[in-house]
Structure 1
Amino acid sequence: MRSAHAIRRAMVAGMITMAGSSAAWGDEGEVGGFFSDLFARTTFVGTVRSDTAVRTTGLQNFYDQGNMPYQHTAVPRQAYLPPSLGSALLGTQVLPAATNWNIPIPNIGLHTNDTVRRDTYIKSDDVKVNYQELRFSGEMNMAFTDNLRFNVQARAVFDPDISNQFDARSLINTQGGIPGGGADRYADTGRPNYFEARGRNGRNLNPTEFAGRKYMVDFPTALLEYKHDAFNLRLGIQQIAWGQAIFFQTFDVPNGLDFRRHLVLDRAIEEFSDKRVPALALRGAWQATDEMLIDSYISKFQPSIIPNPNTPFNVAPAQFYKPLDNYFTGGYNNKLNFGIRMKSDYGNWGYSAMAASRYNPLGVFSWSESGINRGLHGTNADGSTWGNSLGTLVQTAYAAKAPVGGTLCPVYNPTTCRMYDSLGEALSHTPLTIAPAGVYSNKEWFTSAGLIRLDAVKMLNTVIQEYPALRDVYASEVSGIEEASNLLNTFFAASDGSIRGTIQRDYYRESVFGLGGSYVMETEDPGSFWNQFIINAEAQYTPNRRLTGTDLGHGGEKTNEYILTLVGEKWFRYTESFPAAYLAFEFQHRSATDLVGLNLNGYGGLMRSQPVEDPIGLQGNDYSHLKVAKGISSADYLAFAGFQPWPNRKYVFEWAVLWDVRGGVLAQPLVKWNPGHNVSVDFFYNYLNGHLYGNEGNNLIRVIDWADEFNIRIGYQF
């Protein structure tokens, strides 16, 4: 095997040979000298790594097909007479307008009363390995002069797809299969897509990323850096880190986060270094005095990236299509973020301030027109047909309405008029699509809404209010849980299976302001724990921040949010036999969102995630256990993290604990082993419990507490 020095000599020789063939560079000696000197000032570092996470409980991701709530439960569905249809058939004197979704349709050969089990259509998953990833990362640093350098980092990731999860093509002969259309549906109509992230029009959200279903190659950094005296300029693709807290972000606002690979369950102490979404930016820093630093940037807006449906760490119910991203179609790809930060020290005190104008990278999710034309009957790929008698009745009644604008219907009335030629065309102008592997019952609807912090009744009313085509097909607003359940089960029963939803993501500009301070404690006793203990406090205030509404309405909700963070740090040597340990104690208070930016108004809804028989005891039309989001006034988190090296530094013990004070905890103990020869091995465990006490719908951890897992990371640096 050739040595690294031999490879370098060969590369230098090749570069000199190619350069020497061009007379424009002068004679061979000058060219050779130039490139030899340049290569001598160039460093290369590479790492290959394998990450594996094996689940240690019977729970699996309940956002993905095959593991969803009610997967193994026979759920009753009863169809009810739509008020608008009832008014047309019986007249308003027999059926007063105030009556709403409370007259059951007798089961007289109309398929109006049934039970449904998801596992009748979708096989259950039994994935043992939550996460398996092979990765190469490399960095080249080329110093042209003492003042100018070029730095590039490359990352290649491959997922061998050993989890073998849900394949949408398996349902091609069920309810017509999962259709595409209306936009790029790259993540919905085939096998799980681990890495691609595209906009509604099919373009990659990250322009420096090259991804396929099982692989991704990207460049976290590719920049020129110029330093002169007290000035530093960086131009190119880069990540800008303005925060140091573990788990928490207060000042760290320049970049969005990439949640695709291992969500937030990687080595916690890495402080988002693998999660920040890189962006093209110009960053300038000025060391104004020995005590004062001014740092500013202007960058191209890049959004946060969420996992795709049916991937191991997906966090959105796969009964809905992957959100259609309006990054390109909304013109957000041409928007700029900019900000400035100041840090100053005065003795034991430190001060900081920042201001930024940015597009919130998480964005606002709302209902979206699907563009998929499919009615209540159809033909499968194998030639068989699907549909039931209730669906036939609804389509017949729709076809019997007069077209709007004709002599029988000069003015639109949804009771007697129709806007479209067919019910399928009408549905194409709504967010709802008749298709398998969607929502099958009212119970699923309320549970999924609770899991993603939405109000199940409000989001139903909003989709009816914002999309008139739904009123065209006999939907009408509801009042309360019972009416919502009756409407939902009527539509699900008529679909002869389930209905899928379509949502979209838009982005809104916000101004973010921050103030911070720090203090280094000193005591008379140098050995005291409190000597050199560092206290950091940061506060963020954002007026008129746009959040996803609990009703999925367009434009979301506006709120003024403040975030307060307090961090205590200490290097502490408790015995001469061991090196000093690093300790970090953290607290954060948030007034409007949780740690990942979700709206606190959506907390408190029904959250039953265990795929067991009848998990909440509902039988027939008993709605007593269903509930909608009530919201919480604020969120508070505590964290304790640190690491302790062994005397020979062959081992390092790390830990990170995040406690949601409303009843959830994430604990990550880790042992790093350095056996030598540039090899490192990390063993760590993720323990999550979101039902320690209190209402399980009121803490952040509950939505991911299925992910108890043992992790092993093996890396080699060359």
Structure 2
Amino acid sequence: MAMKRSTFITQLAMILTVSLLLIPTAHTIEVNVSGFIRQEMAYSISNDQNPMNRGTAIVSGTVPNTTGAPSFIKKDFDYDNDWNLMATRAEVNFSITINEDIKAFIKVRGFYSADVFNDVSIKSGAKDVNQFKVDHHGKCATIFEVCDDDFMIDLPSAYIDYSLGDFWFRIGNQQIAWGEAIFFRVMDAPNGLDLRRHTFLDLASEEYSDERISAPGIRLSYNFNNNWEIETFAQLFQASVPPQTGSSYSIINSPFHIRNDLGFDKVDKQINAGIRLLAQFDELGLQFMAVSRHNPDPILVLAPGGQTALNPAFAPFGNFSDQPFRSTSFPGAIGAPNSGVYGSLDWISTAHLLGINGVEAINVLGQEFPFIGNFMQFALGLNGPDYVNSVAEASFVLDNFFTAIGDLEADVIPLYASENVFGFSANYIFYSEPDTWLDQLVVRFELTYTPDKKFTNNNSRHFIVEDEWVTGLVFEKYQRFSNAFPATFLAFQWMHKSESDLAGRHLRHLGGTSTKAPSGGEESHGWDAISFAVQQPLPGLIWKLDMIMLYDFNGSYLIQPGVRYKPNKNWTIESFASFLDSKDNAGALQPLAWADEVSLRLTYQF
């Protein structure tokens, strides 16, 4: 279980202050400043729009009502956004050398997103959206961040390094990267991801360097002979941050409001800790690790909606306010009228897209919220605990509820479960005749085991609990095909997860459609994916070509070709396209299958 230290930030600040006071003032401090300013943009080349946003909802227009009552009318806004991203980024790095043993590093990052993407306000039409405000630390995601709807300024790095012989120590705000894969995170357990800027559709070859979320911590290592090194860390827990609801890459249906103030606040002072042992024997490298943490990726559960306006009308079934949903047509709703989920087709389609069993979710509601159980029993004549067993039966219940109170919204609470992650990796470098395929081929194997890992279970308070194994196999090689060209970088990777997909969704609830509930078949064989990367610099190193592909064996893929032009040390122009598709809702990339785009990055470095 992750440790709790309520005074961790205070203690860390004191240690930093004392460290600075102990620095010999007579020594000349050397400061190097570098950084860049970049314009980033992503233009949609897809005919589809994000189905999670109200302006382009997955279901709209005339929605059938299975009760025989008049059909539901969910207004079709057909709001078309051409740009997924138009942003200006600036990063400034301060590398500080205090003496031979003590160094410091500070990175300041600013990110401004122009208002080129709009969702819909039911009251006034198009509206700007919140892209960065998160109820974690105040209104922002991390401690060292200021933000508003359209900008964020933070310190991804602010730490001091101290080294003395075989001992190394780092204290401050930092990322901890324990993995080396392009798409796949196996050993990379210490930190979560911040997906507010460009989700994971930045250049995949950058290996989550911009997305990996930092936090205050202490990290140290010791080389106790020529072959062995031990490293350990203790770091303030920091949750992953998904794209914000209503933003261009949102993966949460807009009528569902994430209540970080009720979820994250329970764990915001927890400490994650880990240790790893590294060994190097000639060409063979070994790692062993153990991490005790709160999982930064949340379990989602429904919370009571608290709408009291309908308590008198539904008194025979209990307090309406004690169940999760709110009618947008009555006082107490957050959204405007007609901004919610409306009709069983809307509910089922959205649930199955997100990896929630829309049928079993009805049974969960009846079992965990007495008001809904009473409604199904006394108003519809259904007995629990399994009130419904098919999409048709679930649709009848849902449409009765929608007919009675109109379109609905709800609050979702993120919970961050404690867990222990154990890992092992081995990498081997082959040497052979120069320019042959085996010469300097790097083979890396990574494995982690998480006992009693907890997963979202149809928004129930009773989680799925399973032991999860994750494995990754990597082949990397620089190969020269012609003396006229620099060497080509090639990488092939395979990943297997026993219980969940790339996004962490449990396999049991994947694969449903608007007419069929998930069968659970995906769970029996686990989840597998492969990726392949090629990077080819051209003569003169001014141009570089990239091709990166990810294929999920459940039927989704991402193809990302790119080109980089760097005419001098200051300027860089990069362009890359992202093509995504999925055959059905079992695919890990299905929630972003609409997001085909072309990205352009214009960078000035100093």
Same fold (TM over 0.5): yes
Partner of 1:559: 466
Distance (whole Å) between structure 1 residues aligned to residue 455 and residue 517 of structure 2: 22
CA deviation after TM superposition for structure 1 residue 325, in Å: 4.8
Report sequence identity in percent: 28
Question: Which residue is equivalent to 2:332?
Answer: none
Specify the alignment match of 2:5 in structure 1: none
Does 1:299 find its partner at 2:299? no
In structure 2, the partner of 1:129 is 83
Q: Please state whether the residue corresponding to 1:489 is helix, strand or coil.
A: helix
Could you tell me how far 1:203 is from its partner in structure 2? Answer: 4.9
Residue 359 of structure 2 aligns to a residue whose secondary structure is: helix
Q: Which of 40, 43, 48 is the aligned partner of 1:54?
A: 43
**What is the match of residue 114 of structure 1?**
70
Q: Does 1:43 align with 2:35?
A: no
1:155 aligned residue: 109
**In structure 1, C-alpha distance between the alignment counterparts of 2:507 and 2:261, rounded to whole Å:** 23
CA distance in 1 between counterparts of 2:321 and 2:604 reads 52
Q: CA deviation at 1:340?
A: 0.8
The corresponding residue for 2:296 is: 361
Q: Could you tell me which of 679, 683, 687 is aligned with 2:571?
A: 679
- Secondary structure (helix, strand or coil) at the match of 2:258 reads coil
For 2:352 and 2:70, the matched residues in 1 are separated by 25
Of 129, 132, 135, the residue aligned with 1:195 is 132
Aligned partner of residue 38 in structure 2, secondary structure:
strand
Shift of 1:527: 2.4
Shift of 1:282: 0.2
Question: Against the structure 1 CA distance between its residues 629 and 307, is the aligned structure 2 distance closer, same or farther, given a 3 Å change threshold?
Answer: farther
> Does the 8 Å CA contact 1:194/1:308 hold for their aligned counterparts?
yes
CA contact (8 A) 1:325 1:506 kept: no
Say which SS state the counterpart of residue 437 (structure 1) adopts.
coil
Residues 541 and 647 of structure 1, relative CA distance in 2, 3 Å threshold: same
Residue ranges of structure 1 left out of the alignment (5+ in a row): 1-24, 26-30, 80-103, 105-112, 173-189, 377-394, 402-413, 419-425, 608-624
Q: 2:440 aligns with which of 521, 526, 532?
A: 532
Q: Post-superposition shift, 1:168?
A: 5.3
Partner of 2:11: none
1:447 to 2:349 alignment: yes
Instruction: Give deviations 1:478-519, integer Å, cap 9, x for gaps.
Output: 222222111111111122x31112211111111100111122
Alpha-carbon distance, 1:631 to partner? 4.7
Distance (Å, rounded) in 2 between the aligned partners of 1:52 and 1:69: 25
Larger Rg: 1
Structure 1, residues 305-344: CA drift from partner, whole Å, max 9, x if none? 11111100001111322344534542x1121111111221
Unaligned runs of 5+ in 2: 1-20, 329-337
**CA contact 2:474–2:494 (8 Å) conserved in 1:** yes
Q: Report SS of the residue matched to 1:698.
A: coil
State the match for 1:697 in structure 2: 585
Which shifted more, 277-286 or 157-166? Answer: 157-166
Q: Partners in 2 of 1:431 and 1:220 — Cα distance? A: 37
Name the CA distance, whole Å, in 2 between partners of 1:489 and 1:456. Answer: 13
SS in 1 for 2:268: helix
Please list, as runs of the form range in 1=range in 2, the aligned pairs for 1:330-479 lying within 5 A after superposition.
330=266, 332-375=267-310, 398=314, 401=316, 414=317, 418=318, 426-435=319-328, 436-471=338-373, 477=384, 478-479=387-388
State the match for 1:275 in structure 2: 211
Secondary structure at the residue paired with 2:522?
coil
Residue 424 of structure 2 aligns with an amino acid whose one-letter code is L
Tell me, yes or no, if structure 1 residue 166 matches structure 2 residue 120.
yes
* TM-score normalised per structure 2: 0.89
RMSD, aligned α-carbons: 2.2
Offset of 1:42 from its aligned partner?
A: 0.5
Q: In structure 2, how many angstroms separate the alpha carbons of the residues matched to 1:327 and 1:148? A: 39
Deviations 1:178-215 (A, max 9, x none): xxxxxxxxxxxx7410011114x965441111110011
Bigger drift between 592-601 and 466-475 goes to: 466-475
How far did residue 555 of structure 1 move?
Answer: 4.2
2:262 aligns to what?
326
User: Structure 1 702/203 Cα, relative in aligned 2: closer, same or farther at 3 Å?
Assistant: closer
Distance 1:78 1:512 in 2: 47
Structure-2 residue corresponding to 1:707: 595
Determine the structure 2 residue equivalent to 1:585.
492
Q: 1:600 Cα deviation (Å)?
A: 1.2
Question: Deviations 1:515-566 (Å, cap 9, x if unpaired)?
Answer: 111222233x3221111111100110000001111x2111421110000100
User: How many residues align structurally?
Assistant: 565
1:519 to 424, 428, 452: 428
- Contact 1:592/1:600, CA 8 A, preserved across alignment: yes
| CA-CA distance at 1:677 after TM superposition | 5.4
Report which of the two has the higher share of strand.
2
Is the partner of 2:124 in helix, strand or coil? helix
2:113/2:150 contact within 8 Å kept: yes
Q: What is the alpha-carbon distance in structure 1 between the residues aligned to residue 134 and residue 519 of structure 2?
A: 30
Residues 349-395 of structure 1: per-residue CA shift (max 9 Å, x gap)? 2211111101000021111112233439xxxxxxxxxxxxxxxxxx6
Structure-1 separation of matches of 2:90 and 2:168: 30
Are the structure 2 counterparts of residues 167 and 322 from structure 1 closer, same or farther at C-alpha, using a change threshold of 3 Å? Answer: farther
Matched, 1:314 2:250: yes
Q: Which residue of 537, 548, 552 corresponds with 1:656?
A: 548
Distance 1:441 1:205 in 2: 34
Q: Is the 8 A contact 1:564 1:590 kept in 2?
A: yes
CA contact (8 A) 1:293 1:344 kept: yes
1:600 corresponds, among 492, 500, 507, to: 507
Separation (CA, whole Å) in 2 of partners of 1:555 and 1:329: 20
Q: Give CA deviations for 1:57-90 in whole Å, capped at 9, x if unaligned.
A: 2111111112122224x222144xxxxxxxxxxx
Give 2:12's aligned residue: none
